[in-house]
Amino acid sequence: MSHRSHHLSTKSPHGWWLASYLERFEFRDARPRRPEARCLVWENMILVRAKTRDLAYQRAVALAKSKTTRRWRRYGDPPGRLGRWVFEGLLDLIPIYEPLRHGAELLWTDHGNLSLGAIRRRVKRKRELPVFADA
């Protein structure tokens, strides 16, 4: 998601948290060594259940690490090149304030004071939403 909420609390009344993390891809024969090396990167968001923010952090890191592979696999046309996804770390940990159910508000962004025209220019029609961009 491209928007971020403004964190007003450090607690989740219903024990749910939204965590985002970065993972990058590397080929075994071309592993990045220098900070300016370019990598394919994904930001993933996961739902975490925990009573406290510390436990939510621990669980988010453990879950994100478990979703990336430490083992090398073959990618691309046969015979393929050995590659893997590497967990880099968390970007955000956001408490969810409402119980999870249809229509529950998960995130919000305060956009400040916008003109009516600016508001309407931001809104997308159904076919403009990325989920409907069938290529």
Q: Tell whether the model's pLDDT for residue 5 goes beyond 60.
A: no
Residues of the chain above pLDDT 70, percent = 93
pLDDT tens digits, 18-64: 999 999 999 999 899 899 999 999 999 999 999 999 999 999 999 99
Rg (CA), the chain: 19
pLDDT-derived band at 110 (thresholds 50, 70, 90) equals confident
Contact 88, 68 (CB under 8 A): no
Contact 67, 84 (CB under 8 A): no
Q: How far apart are the first and last CA of the chain?
A: 21
Mean residue pLDDT across the chain: 90
**What's the token pair of residue 33?**
């060594």
Residue 106 main-chain phi, psi, to 5 deg: -100, -45
